Each structure stands twice: as structure tokens, then as C-alpha cells.
């Protein structure tokens, strides 16, 4: 049996790699491993979903199972890669060990985690993927629901750390959805 091409990551890079591989080669086995569901969505839509009144489910353009079937690949969703052995050409995961012929790392960028302490440090979220957005969305909706149930006019305040493009898009999106937003950004002096 032929070892597959393994792609680690199911973001735009991972799925695009799978699609391009299939254009060139319809028969080589391809295995895509992802820590999340693997559903396909446009990441930029995370920062404008509130203004469009879209929840996490509406952001998915193609479910992972449909993507895997259309590209004739094997999908291991909700699977964490724990080690890669380049000598033995194996990937060790929470679902077992897989041998590969070629390996593609398409894991995307990770957010910078600023060290924090205090009684609300655990409430700070990074929104870098659909799963992160789902948690963020659920928290905001639960605050809205609790306020409405109690007849309270609750100020919905959010602090966004980072005034780059995505931070500003999130701020604009949330302000347009009646949230009070403060954007903070570090200033580097030379």
C-alpha cells in the first residue's frame, strides 16, 4: 500500500493544497489532519460576522465531510499532531501514528499570547479560527440573553488588543452591532 501525502492543517492553505494536488494527481492517497472540525470557511468573515448577523454555523461555506469527499481525501478531524518523525516519515497524533510519503505543514499563523494576570485573565480570548469565534460568539450572546431576561440595559463593552487590520475590522464590526469597543495597541519607541 502506498503511503499518503499528509497535510497538517485544514485552513485555506491546507484545503487549497489538497485541491491543487488533486488537479495533478487523482490517485495518490491524501490524508488531511486537523485539530478542529476541518469545515471550510473564509477566515476574513470572522471579523465582520456580527454586522452581517451571522453566527458560527453560517460562516461555514462547505462542511469538512463534503470537502473530503469532493477531493477524495481521508480526513482526521479533531486530531492533534503530537510529534513528527522525519527519519521514519511518520506523524504521531491523538488518533495514532501515520506514515507518509510527503508531508505538508499548513498550520497557519498562531496569535501572539500576551502574558496576563488578574481575576479576568482567563476570560481573554484570541479569535483566530472558527472554533475561537464560536466561543466568542457564545459568550457575547449569553451576555445579551442574561441582560434581556433580567430587563437590564447592559453596556456591552469589549476591549480589542491590537490595532492592526483584523483588530480594527473586529472593532468596526462590533461597534456596528451596538457594542462599546476600546482598541489598545502597544507603542514601540526606538
C-alpha cell of 171? 472593532
In the beta sheet, which residues pair with residue 44? Answer: none
| pLDDT at residue 190, as a whole number | 46
pLDDT tens sequence across 3-30 = 999 999 999 999 999 999 999 999 999 9
Is pLDDT above 60 for 106? yes
pLDDT tens sequence across 74-83 = 999 999 999 9
pLDDT tens sequence across 129-147 = 999 999 999 988 886 665 5
What is the reported pTM?
Answer: 0.82
Cβ(4)–Cβ(28) under 8 Å? yes
28 — alpha (psi -120 to 50), left (phi > 0) or beta?
beta
More confident residue, 66 or 148: 66
Cβ(173)–Cβ(49) under 8 Å? yes
Using the structure block, give the residue that is written with the C-alpha cell 489598545.
Answer: 184
Average predicted confidence (pLDDT) for the chain: 89
Is pLDDT above 60 for 189? no
| pLDDT at residue 164, as a whole number | 86
Arithmetic mean of pLDDT, 31-49: 93
Percentage of the residues of the chain whose pLDDT score is greater than 90: 59
C-alpha cell of 168? 480594527
Q: In angstroms, rounded to a whole number, what is the distance separating the alpha carbons of residues 98 and 8?
A: 12
| pLDDT at residue 186, as a whole number | 79
CB atoms within 10 A of CB 74: 13
Amino acid at each position: 500500500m502506498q503511503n499518503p501525502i499528509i497535510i497538517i492543517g485544514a485552513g485555506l492553505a491546507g484545503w487549497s493544497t489538497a485541491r491543487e494536488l488533486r488537479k495533478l494527481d487523482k490517485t495518490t492517497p491524501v490524508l488531511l489532519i486537523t485539530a478542529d472540525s476541518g469545515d471550510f470557511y473564509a477566515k476574513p468573515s470572522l471579523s465582520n460576522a456580527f454586522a452581517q448577523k451571522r453566527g458560527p454555523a453560517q460562516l461555514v461555506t462547505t462542511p469538512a465531510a463534503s470537502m473530503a469527499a469532493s477531493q477524495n481525501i481521508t480526513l482526521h478531524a479533531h486530531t492533534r499532531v503530537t510529534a513528527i518523525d522525519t527519519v521514519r516519515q511518520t506523524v504521531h497524533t491523538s488518533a495514532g501514528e501515520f506514515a507518509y510519503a510527503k508531508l505538508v505543514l499548513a498550520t497557519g499563523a498562531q496569535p501572539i499570547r500576551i502574558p496576563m494576570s488578574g481575576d479576568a485573565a482567563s476570560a481573554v480570548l484570541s479569535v483566530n479560527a472558527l472554533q475561537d469565534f464560536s466561543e466568542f460568539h457564545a459568550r457575547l450572546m449569553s451576555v445579551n440573553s442574561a441582560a434581556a431576561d433580567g430587563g437590564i440595559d447592559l453596556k456591552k463593552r469589549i476591549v480589542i488588543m491590537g490595532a492592526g487590520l483584523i483588530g480594527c475590522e473586529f472593532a468596526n464590526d462590533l461597534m456596528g452591532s451596538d457594542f462599546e469597543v476600546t482598541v489598545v495597541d502597544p507603542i514601540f519607541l526606538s
